[in-house]
Amino acid sequence: MGGESEKWALMVTGRTPTNIAVIKYWGKRDETLILPINDSISVTLDPDHLCTTTTVSVSPSFDQDRMWLNGKEISLSVGEFQSCLREIRSRATDFEDKKKGIKITKDDWQKLHLHIASYNNFPTAAGLASSAAGLACLVFSLAKLMNVKEDYGQLSAIARQGSGSACRSLYGGFVKWIMGKEGDGSDSIAVQLADENHWDELVIIIAVVSARQKETSSTSGMRDTVETSLLIQHRAPKRIIQMEDAIKNRDFPSFARLACADSNQFHAVCLDTYPPIFYMNDTSHRIISCVEKWNRAEGTPQVAYTFDAGPNAVLVARNRKTAALLLQRLLFHFPPQSDTNLDSYVIGDKTILQDVGVQDMKDVEALTPPPEIKDYIPTQKSKGDVSYFICTRPGRGPVVLSDESQALLDPVTGLPK
């Protein structure tokens, strides 16, 4: 393997975005391989605001595979990690660094152990698809380390086996996960529909809604749906083609109608499941109502909403101007608690907040009801129902961070920095 003292370590650090489905994935036809019962489409979110960074390292001095998530050691023995590690290791190819005197053959990779450190730049338990970004980043970084020659489509099929929606985080922009037909899942892969520059006017605002209780896990929820819901059979496959067209033509009204209708249908399917699943809460419903009223008053959609398996709202505004008008409405209806700093209540792209012209809590308190609200009753304001807002946009796919200062593992000890 080279390196006379066996003290060498090789390291790769990758950064991978999260994604939000605008045509939802819900229901598996194969639980082990994670094969879905429908195609889905997502928007990749800007990794500057939401991403996972993962450093993977290999060294003959490591005596077992180990992983740290957000600084805390976690077990790698769970199925989703094992599937990804096995699939990547089986595709490893010979590697040589003549300068460092390191040579690793295809067979060496099967015996060498790994250290992995991963960090999410957003709260892991906030229901913001951290496992999608996390598993995509693990697969991407390992593939680079082990000199895997497969293309991103094939890597997406490996990430899929870790967490279904992770396959869509292998690309930036607008991504389709094709359900595929093969029993082995080889054609259940992600493809890029358009990159992040194709429709760069869009602005995304995420309302992180305070959840009082833990929701049903997606895995068990999906299983219950497939077994008990009749409504799931009526999900419209035509929406995939219509959404592809809307994205291709940057047709915002169609994009918004399709995204909202699919989110609502997904939650209707959850309600049609036995036992019924409730992911949205009262705050989620009030956000929908705020957007619907405004869209109706304007005569054409200004904002799309979509909700995953949790109460958080992901809102897509057609441009910066509508994003500022949206944030103004959101701050009016869902102001922070009086002791909250506005700077920590609206995070991500702060320029949207500047466009609203709101600088402090006094400005938030001075906001007047939007014109579409005819019968406003002051008691309707709900302080503290939203934890915070994240302003972001469609973003790029995975990248390798070549600057060693960004690595999460110490090159000498192989432990988290």
| DSSP code, position 121 | S
Q: Which is nearer to ligand ADE, 55 or 302 (CB)?
A: 55
Q: Is the CB of residue 2 less than 8 Å from the CB of residue 388?
A: no
* Shortest CB 134 distance to ligand ADE, Å: 2
Distance CA(400)–CA(393), nearest Å, equals: 21
Q: Judged by CB under 6 A, which stretch of 128-136, 148-156, 172-180, 402-410 contacts ligand ADE? A: 128-136
Torsion angle (degrees, nearest 10) of CA 259, 265, 269, 270 = 60
| DSSP code, position 212 | S
Tokens found for residue 54: 């993962």
Q: Which is nearer to ligand ADE, 69 or 226 (CB)?
A: 69
* Shortest CB 113 distance to ligand ADE, Å: 18
248's enclosing H/E stretch is helix 238-248
Q: Is the CB of residue 37 less than 8 Å from the CB of residue 226?
A: yes
Q: Judged by CB under 6 A, which stretch of 102-110, 134-142, 186-194, 276-284 contacts ligand ADE? A: 134-142
Taking CB under 6 A as the criterion, the residue among 82, 124, 210, 254 binding ligand ADE is 124
* Shortest CB 210 distance to ligand ADE, Å: 20
**What is the residue type of 344?**
S
Q: Is the CB of residue 166 less than 8 Å from the CB of residue 134?
A: yes
Q: Which is nearer to ligand ADE, 69 or 102 (CB)?
A: 69
Distance CA(252)–CA(186), nearest Å, equals: 33
Binding flags for ligand ADE, 138-177, as an x/- string (CB under 6 A): x---------------------------------------
Q: Which is nearer to ligand ADE, 165 or 273 (CB)?
A: 165
Taking CB under 6 A as the criterion, the residue among 18, 19, 57, 131 binding ligand ADE is 131
Choose among 372, 349, 208, 217: nearest CA to 279.
217
* Shortest CB 139 distance to ligand ADE, Å: 10
Tell me: does residue 401 bind ligand ADE (CB under 6 A): no
Give me the DSSP letters along 257-317: HHHHHHHHHHHHHHHTSSS------HHHHHHHHHHHHHHHHHSS-SEEEE--SSS-EEEEE
| DSSP code, position 286 | H
Tokens found for residue 30: 């194969």
* Shortest CB 392 distance to ligand ADE, Å: 18
**What is the residue type of 127?**
G
Q: Judged by CB under 6 A, which stretch of 7-15, 117-125, 332-340, 382-390 contacts ligand ADE? A: 117-125
* Shortest CB 114 distance to ligand ADE, Å: 13
Q: Which is nearer to ligand ADE, 45 or 256 (CB)?
A: 45
Taking CB under 6 A as the criterion, the residue among 38, 57, 130, 312 binding ligand ADE is 130
Task: Select the residue whose beta carbon is closest to ligand ADE and give its number.
Answer: 134
Site residues (CB under 6 A) for ligand ADE, limited to 69-108: 69
Site residues (CB under 6 A) for ligand ADE, limited to 265-284: none
Is there a cis peptide before residue 237, judged by omega within 30 degrees of 0?
A: no
Question: How many residues interact with ligand ADE (rule CB under 6 A)?
Answer: 10
Distance CA(184)–CA(190), nearest Å, equals: 15
- Gap between the terminal Cα atoms of the chain: 26
Tell me: does residue 55 bind ligand ADE (CB under 6 A): no
Distance CA(48)–CA(44), nearest Å, equals: 12
Distance CA(140)–CA(16), nearest Å, equals: 8
Taking CB under 6 A as the criterion, the residue among 17, 27, 36, 134 binding ligand ADE is 134
Distance CA(87)–CA(319), nearest Å, equals: 41
Residue located via tokens 């405004």 = 294
* Shortest CB 396 distance to ligand ADE, Å: 18
Q: Judged by CB under 6 A, which stretch of 41-49, 116-124, 205-213, 402-410 contacts ligand ADE? A: 116-124
Give me the DSSP letters along 153-185: HHHHHHHHTT-GGGGGGGSSSEEEE-----TT-
Q: Which is nearer to ligand ADE, 137 or 326 (CB)?
A: 137
Q: Which is nearer to ligand ADE, 74 or 367 (CB)?
A: 74
| DSSP code, position 369 | P
* Shortest CB 223 distance to ligand ADE, Å: 20
Q: Judged by CB under 6 A, which stretch of 17-25, 127-135, 347-355, 403-411 contacts ligand ADE? A: 127-135
Taking CB under 6 A as the criterion, the residue among 19, 38, 118, 312 binding ligand ADE is 118
Q: Could you tell me how many residues make up the chain?
A: 417
Choose among 290, 314, 308: nearest CA to 390.
314
Which residue ranges make up the site for ligand ADE (CB under 6 A)?
52, 69, 118, 120, 124, 130-131, 134-135, 138
